Amino acid sequence: MRPISRLKVMSPALFNCQQPHAYIIMSSIKPSTERIPILNKKNFTEWELQVEAYLKQCDLINFIESNEANSLTENSPFRMWEAVKDHFTSKAITNQSLVYNEFLDLDFKGNDISAFIVDLTRHISSLKAVGLRIGIPKDFDLHENLLCENILKKVPTSLIHTREVLIQKRPLTLETIWDVLENRSRDNTTTSVKTEESSMKATSSKKKKVKCTNGTHNPDANHSESQCFELHPEEKEKYEQRWAG
């Protein structure tokens, strides 16, 4: 998809179908555009509704709804509108999660009820602006994508690789999160076992290096008292002669 900067999404000229009469209608008929907000990463749903309402008022809605083959040029209003929707819809879940988490972080500051009402109103407006409908769902009680985004938020930054894997798999589902976390858990278990085995080998190696000195036997040595050269130096001489021969 072409960069969003080339789409000129805030200009009415976006919908010019290179047909003079359309441009004239755009320029001469001036319904209220004050309700159309400045497009940003959080308000696409509201922006889309207001733009469509504006175009219907101008009798230009067919330019973004038409999928006729002869109108599908690279710069046609239909293709450009679809590109805008593809760009922002792909980020919808992430944006919803961001706004939802901002709402969860809302605190009642002191005892200022008026300030809280203002903050609460602003947050609820933001929730609606990103397409979150407030009500009692009929077939589920909690939006799976929002739940998953909150789970992602709980993964510590120390597990940066796990977080990156989850982010790349957006929009997340519970099944995806379980798969990633279980795979990472198995990897960590394998690493832990290997570390423990290495530690045991190192300990065993140290035990092999334990020596008997000063005519005494070290109980940690890997031989018995009867085989200890410190207690039986004559056996050491026999051993050395045998290997020398």
Q: Is residue 98 assigned to a domain? A: no
Residue at token pair 């031989």: 223
Q: Is residue 108 assigned to a domain? A: no
Using CA atoms, how far apart are residues 3 and 83, in angstroms rounded to an integer?
9
Q: Is residue 121 assigned to a domain? A: no
Most confident of 90-94, 214-218, 233-237: 214-218
Q: Is residue 131 assigned to a domain? A: no
Residues 194 and 232 in one domain: no
| Of 97 and 201, the one with more pLDDT | 97
Contact present, 77 and 18 (Cβ < 8 Å): no
115-129 burial, b if ≥16 CB within 10 A, otherwise e?
Answer: eeeebeeebeebbeb
pLDDT, the chain, mean? 74
Residues 29 and 51 in one domain: yes
Residues 183 and 225 in one domain: no
Q: Is residue 63 assigned to a domain? A: yes
Q: Is residue 126 assigned to a domain? A: no
The radius of gyration computed from the CA coordinates of the chain, to the nearest angstrom, equals 36
Mean pLDDT of 79-99: 77
- Domain span at 187: 143-201
pLDDT digits (tens, 9 = 90+) for 137-172: 788 788 888 888 888 988 988 889 999 999 888 888
Q: Is the pTM of this model over 0.75?
A: no
Domain count, the chain: 3
